[in-house]
Amino acid sequence: MSASMDSKLTLSLAQMDIVPGEPDANFAAAAALVEEAAERGSDLVVLPELWDSGFALDRAVVLASAFGEGLFRRVAELARRHRIHVTGSMLEKHGGKVYNCMAVFAPNGDIVGIYRKTHLIGLMGEDQWLAPGDMLTVLDLPWGRTGLALCYDLRFPELFRRYVVDQGARFIILPAAWPLPRRTHWRILTRARAIENQCFLAACNRVGQSGKYEFFGASALIDPWGERLVEAGDVPALLTVTVDMGRVDEVRAALPALADRRSDLYS
């Protein structure tokens, strides 16, 4: 299924538990969610951050795969089989380094864009095992200009502003592995990023326990006015919602805050 540019988009947020360091088990769980999302008529399914491995980062070199190999190849086949866009993040091996990589797979199985996480969270050891990305990514997808971000990026509003103001994003996808006790931060910041940038934000967080970390879910689709159109609880779930991308234009016309920015003072 495909949406026409700036029309209606049906998406599913695949909030799942993740078995640390067990990519086969995690792929099986993800594949079932992708299949169900396709059966519901979704154009896009969003999986959480590091859905393939969890935070088994001490084994990242072993668990990571390159484009066209391993789980990247299997997800490409999954997207092609179900004719759906699929994204989330996985461990990617590239140039002798390992990245937390968000790839967007098109319904024909091609990777149409990637984003390597730029802000690594030292609090959870990412900076010890992974290399940071060095570029931001906005894609022209069937439903409109879409920015890619991952979890901890949510705390850096300048990234989102760059996507919207400089690169024309109308929709932002944010897979995450955001743990307790910072649930309040998650709910406030996801809403704030959508409100201040007057765009849709699809935020898919994981659930479950991983070592000392407990993940609470609360995946949500937030509209440009800051309304949560759907929000999950703290257990595995597949949320599906249809949005009209024209809502972005409505909100920006009703409250033209982006047009009133004093960019001459910020540079």
Which active-site residues does the annotation give?
49, 117, 151
Residue for token pair 């990026």: 153
DSSP 42: -
**154 vs 32, 151, 189, 192, CA distance in Å?**
28, 6, 7, 10
Cα distance between residue 26 and residue 166, in whole Å: 36
Q: Which residues contact 172 (CB under 8 A, 6 or more apart)?
A: 146, 147, 148, 149, 160, 163, 193, 194, 197, 199, 200, 201, 202
Buried b (16+ CB within 10 A) or exposed e, 80-119: bebebbbbbbbbbbeeeebbbbbbbbbbebebebbbbbbb
Going by DSSP bridges, is the β-strand pair 207-210/138-141 parallel, antiparallel, or unpaired? Answer: unpaired
> Measured over all CA atoms, what is the biggest interatomic distance in the chain, rounded to whole angstroms?
51
Q: Which amino acid, residue 188?
A: I
Cβ neighbourhood burial of 60 (10 Å; 0-12, 13-18, 19+): buried
Radius of gyration of the chain (CA): 17
Which bin fits 96, alpha (ψ -120 to 50), beta or left (φ > 0)?
left
Residue for token pair 């024909």: 108
